[in-house]
Amino acid sequence: MARELLSLPVLFRDCDAGPPGIVDVREAGRVCADIVDILSSWCSLVVCERGGIAPATKTVEDMVVFLDMNLVWLAKHDAGGDFVVEVRELAAAARGVVVPREVLGVCDRGGCGRDIVAGGVDVRCEAGHEWRPAEWLSLGKRVRSTAVTGQRARKRRSGRRS
C-alpha cells in the first residue's frame, strides 16, 4: 500500500510531462487532476477528523508524504478500504497513460546529437525535432549510415595524406 502511494509523485510527474512520454494527453490531464483532487480530499479528511497540521503545500509530493505519515490511522478508519482502492486506481490509471521511454537513436539534424525517443504516436528527439511516420523507416538507416559515411570520409582523408 505504502509503495503504491509513494509511487504517485513520480507517476504524476510523468503524466504531467506531456509528449513524447504520454499516450493520450487529454486522459493524462484527467489523471493528473484526479490525483490532486483525491489526495487533497483524503488530506482534508485526516486534518478534519484527526486534527493537526495540513500538508505545507498542495503538491502531490507533500500530500503523499502527509498521507504516508497517517497511513496507520487511515488503515483503521472506516473509509480506510476506500483509500486503498482509490490510491491503487490512481496508480493504475497513471501507468496506463505513461509510455515506457524507448530510445531509438541519436538525432542527426543540424548536429543535434540528442536522443530520439518514441512515445505514443510521436517520435521526436529531446530537443524537439519531430520525425514523421514517413521518415521512421529511413530513420534507422540514416542514423546508421551517418556513422558509416563518417568512417569512410575519415579513411579517405587519412588515405590521401599517407
Q: What residues line the site for Zn ion (CB under 5 A)?
A: 107, 109, 112, 114, 125, 127, 129
Residue with smaller CB distance to Zn ion, 112 or 143: 112
Residue whose grid cell is 487511515: 74
Residue with smaller CB distance to Zn ion, 81 or 128: 128
Assigned C-alpha cell, 70: 497517517
DSSP H or E run through 80 = helix 80-97
Nearest approach, Cβ of 122 to Zn ion (angstroms)? 13
Residue with smaller CB distance to Zn ion, 107 or 139: 107
Cα angle vertex 34, ends 29, 35, to 5°? Answer: 100
Nearest approach, Cβ of 125 to Zn ion (angstroms)? 3
Amino acid at 109: R
Assigned C-alpha cell, 79: 473509509
Pick from 146, 153, 60: nearest CA to 108? 146
Nearest approach, Cβ of 20 to Zn ion (angstroms)? 12
Amino acid at 19: P
Residue with smaller CB distance to Zn ion, 18 or 113: 113
Nearest approach, Cβ of 106 to Zn ion (angstroms)? 9
Distance CA 33, CA 151 (A): 51
Nearest approach, Cβ of 111 to Zn ion (angstroms)? 9
Residue with smaller CB distance to Zn ion, 37 or 102: 102
Amino acid at 146: T
